[in-house]
Amino acid sequence: MAGFTHDVCIIGSGVAGALVAHELVQRGRKVLILDAGRRFDPTLRMELMERAVEGLDPWAPVDPDPEVYSSTGTDHVRLEGKRMRAVGGSTHHWGGLAYRMHASDFRLRSLYGLGEDWPVSYDELEPYYARAEAELGVSGQGGDPHASWRSGPFPNPAFPFSYAVEKVVRPACDHLGISIHPIPCARNSQPYRDRPACVAFGVCHVCPIEALYNADIHLRRGVATGNLEIRPEARVVRLAARSPRRVTSATYLQPGGGTGTVEAPIFVLAAHAIESIRLLQLSASPRFPGGLANSSGTLGRYFMEHWATGLAGEVEEPLYPHRIGFNTAHSLQFYDTPHRRRIGAMKITFSAGSPSLSELARDSGLWGVALKRYLRRVYGRWLAAIVNVEQLPRLESRVTLDPELRDAHGYAAPRVHLELGDYELRTLLRGRERLLRILRAARARIPGHQMAKFKDSERHPIAHHMGGCRMGIDPAGSVVDP
């Protein structure tokens, strides 16, 4: 466009920013990406994987900066190791689970009187889900009666169930009438486009051959067109806007010191759920005192996580877990039920890899040769079931700027405040009851400390950060429009 070096400036190079950039440059647009993180040579992935198998944090050399944030509310949220500041973003260490939202998720208010309806429907988004799955190379199997409809098959066939699933999980679930299905994942079950098939390095959080998708794959393709420029280590700290609907420039910190400014006709903000909110808040001015896109006062509100709890039991025969690095089976049977007004959506997955060898060693209270003997005796005889549950969007669950805490550059750090209520806790409890039934049907012996979880509302946030920039058709109650 006239007067600008770039047609579009994208802030953030994770999966969202990378795919938007890729689509634009394919159409001949000139795109600039600013990312706070470093760019690294993808040929180093093997070296990073070797760090992982030595028990070291594989990504420490790529993202050495400590997380600075505060957490309040009913539950503490840990961000350390949960997101990555690097070109390509958190897809470098993600698990590759590539789920679509359920059609009911878009109509929670209409169907169940919960939350809010989206201004778009699953039917409208379905073609885009299909295109995104094609880009990522998702492996999966259609025909899950508890998932939403699909216009076509998955790009890659599903990974077969693990030995543990076939040996104990499937018979137990068949007995209980619970249907299980392969997990859709952005991991190649066969060579796909220019990426190889998974060959079971077993270290998925740093896949050395990129059989597991990461956003740098699309960034490299974009750069190869000559239309995409990436500026790593460019931490955007302020957006300027001349009108409420149009950002005109971005100011960023340069790696050698000082600041730079980019002007562009269009900006795309894709800097992670928390950082996007924070940047809009940091961009407050006399004209926009609550931050950009916040005339409604909604910015940062309705922030959400997914919550998980699990149960493990010992089975008679060894299940030979791990060896592939990811779980292969799930059940969505209890996701959208007639009881959803009281019991939220839940997804159940199965893992013979939990507790892992290191967890068993750590929790055994043993050491020395006695520990080695113990591990040889018990390892691989554990079956775990995990339930993930939804969190309702709540006004009080929000991301704000911490009034005191500052990051390494002197800017206000994010404060994450999350409130869980009876809805989520009830769902977690119901989920654990289902896990107990499944493990008992699998004839797993559940030790006392596992059963103790039923007296405790143990739960873990699993770093699926969502919300905070609500989409709506009413500007008085939303941050972005459809």
Does 454 engage in binding with other proteins (CB under 8 A)?
A: no
413 φ, ψ (degrees, to nearest 5): -80, 160
The residues facing 260 across adjacent strands are 252
User: Residues with Cβ < 8 Å from 423, sequence gap 6 or more?
Assistant: 114, 342, 344, 392
Instruction: Indicate which single residue of 197, 223, 413, 462 sits in contact with other proteins (rule: CB under 8 A).
Output: 197
Does 115 engage in binding with other proteins (CB under 8 A)?
A: no
Does 55 engage in binding with other proteins (CB under 8 A)?
A: yes
User: Residues with Cβ < 8 Å from 386, sequence gap 6 or more?
Assistant: 308, 309, 310, 348, 349, 350, 351, 354, 435
Whichever of 124 and 396 has its CB closer to other proteins, that residue is 396
- The CB-of-12 to other proteins minimum distance in angstroms stands at 25
Cis peptide before 321 (omega within 30 of 0): no
Whichever of 378 and 466 has its CB closer to other proteins, that residue is 378
Instruction: Indicate which single residue of 365, 403, 404, 476 sits in contact with other proteins (rule: CB under 8 A).
Output: 365
Does 369 engage in binding with other proteins (CB under 8 A)?
A: yes
Does 325 engage in binding with other proteins (CB under 8 A)?
A: yes
Does 316 engage in binding with other proteins (CB under 8 A)?
A: no
Count of residues in contact with other proteins, rule CB under 8 A: 58
* Among 130-138, 170-178, 297-305, 351-359, the segment contacting other proteins (CB under 8 A): 351-359
- The CB-of-339 to other proteins minimum distance in angstroms stands at 18
- Of 284, 278, 305, 289, the C-alpha closest to 469 is 278
Does 370 engage in binding with other proteins (CB under 8 A)?
A: yes
Does 93 engage in binding with other proteins (CB under 8 A)?
A: no
- Of 471, 480, 481, the C-alpha closest to 117 is 471
Does 27 engage in binding with other proteins (CB under 8 A)?
A: no
* Burial of 428 (C-beta count, 10 Å sphere; 0-12/13-18/19+): buried
Question: Between residue 224 and residue 243, which ones bind other proteins under the rule CB under 8 A?
Answer: none
Question: Between residue 429 and residue 448, which ones bind other proteins under the rule CB under 8 A?
Answer: 429
- Of 419, 22, 448, the C-alpha closest to 225 is 22
Does 366 engage in binding with other proteins (CB under 8 A)?
A: yes
Whichever of 119 and 318 has its CB closer to other proteins, that residue is 318
CA distance 151 to 164: 32
CA distance 269 to 414: 17
Does 54 engage in binding with other proteins (CB under 8 A)?
A: yes
Does 350 engage in binding with other proteins (CB under 8 A)?
A: no
User: Residues with Cβ < 8 Å from 22, sequence gap 6 or more?
Assistant: 135, 218, 219, 221, 222
CA distance 86 to 78: 19
Does 171 engage in binding with other proteins (CB under 8 A)?
A: no
Does 371 engage in binding with other proteins (CB under 8 A)?
A: yes
Instruction: Indicate which single residue of 118, 122, 129, 201 sits in contact with other proteins (rule: CB under 8 A).
Output: 201
Place of tokens 């988004």: 125
- Of 477, 271, 308, 281, the C-alpha closest to 393 is 477
Whichever of 167 and 470 has its CB closer to other proteins, that residue is 167
Does 323 engage in binding with other proteins (CB under 8 A)?
A: yes
Whichever of 1 and 370 has its CB closer to other proteins, that residue is 370
Does 379 engage in binding with other proteins (CB under 8 A)?
A: yes
- The CB-of-186 to other proteins minimum distance in angstroms stands at 16
Does 64 engage in binding with other proteins (CB under 8 A)?
A: yes
- The CB-of-355 to other proteins minimum distance in angstroms stands at 11
- The CB-of-226 to other proteins minimum distance in angstroms stands at 35
CA distance 100 to 103: 9
Instruction: Indicate which single residue of 143, 377, 403, 404 sits in contact with other proteins (rule: CB under 8 A).
Output: 377
Whichever of 2 and 369 has its CB closer to other proteins, that residue is 369
Question: Between residue 380 and residue 399, which ones bind other proteins under the rule CB under 8 A?
Answer: 380
Does 53 engage in binding with other proteins (CB under 8 A)?
A: yes
- Of 392, 338, 425, 420, the C-alpha closest to 111 is 338
Does 40 engage in binding with other proteins (CB under 8 A)?
A: no
Task: Report yes or no: 330 and 180 within 8 Å, Cβ to Cβ.
Answer: yes
- The CB-of-272 to other proteins minimum distance in angstroms stands at 22
Q: Which residues bind other proteins (CB under 8 A)?
A: 49-50, 52-57, 60, 64, 66, 160-163, 166, 197-203, 318, 320, 322-325, 356-362, 364-373, 375-377, 379-380, 422, 425, 429, 449, 455-457
